[in-house]
Amino acid sequence: MNCIFCAFGKGTQKTHANGFPFETLLTLKNTISFLSTDLPATEDGHVLVIPKKHFENMEDIPKNSLHELIDHVSLLTRVLRKTHSGCNILLNDGKSAGQRVFHTHFHVIPREKNDKIIIEKFKRKNLTKKEFITLHKVIKQEIDSL
């Protein structure tokens, strides 16, 4: 397996794919964070938070690492909120969700009002109350069966 995020997690990769230097912002026991090279045109940051070990999907991450990952994202959000009015926290989980590096990673993207960043835009479904209740029941049954 040739995973650049695994190499970042192990400390064996010293540059991003475009040759920019790779440096961690914060290293914890199971997770690291670093500046993405994909910066929004109107903002001055885009941080990625990853588990050091390879997990393709979020549901594969053991609880202790998952809790640390979420805490790490929360900490980075607090840091970015000191100089920005908001943040998007994004996880693309699976190819159909837009995941391009198949190593679980959260994006923390600082935001300002009217920054013209469009994270995701989709056409909303018009549901009846009955359809909404039925959908809720279906998903709830799936949760209960876990």
CATH number for position 89:
3.30.428.10
Q: Is the pLDDT of residue 31 over 90?
A: yes
In angstroms, what is the C-alpha Rg of the chain? 18
* 100 assigned to some structural domain: yes
* 64 assigned to some structural domain: yes
Closest CA to 4 of 93, 105, 79: 105
pLDDT tens for each residue of 48-99: 999 999 999 999 999 999 999 999 999 999 999 999 999 999 999 999 999 9
* 9 assigned to some structural domain: yes
Q: Is the pLDDT of residue 6 over 90?
A: yes
Asked if 65 and 106 touch (Cβ cutoff 8 Å), the reply is: no
Cα separation values, 106 from 7, 69, 89, Å: 17, 9, 7
* 74 assigned to some structural domain: yes
pLDDT at 122: 73
pLDDT at 41: 77
Q: Is the pLDDT of residue 43 over 90?
A: no
* 143 assigned to some structural domain: no
Domain count across the chain: 1
Write out the two tokens for 126.
């018009």
pTM of the model: 0.88
pLDDT tens for each residue of 98-139: 999 999 999 999 999 998 888 877 778 888 899 989 999 999
* 133 assigned to some structural domain: no
* 141 assigned to some structural domain: no
Residue 84: domain span:
4-119
* 140 assigned to some structural domain: no
Asked if 114 and 43 touch (Cβ cutoff 8 Å), the reply is: no
Q: Is the pLDDT of residue 35 over 80?
A: yes
pLDDT tier at 8 (50, 70, 90 boundaries)? very high
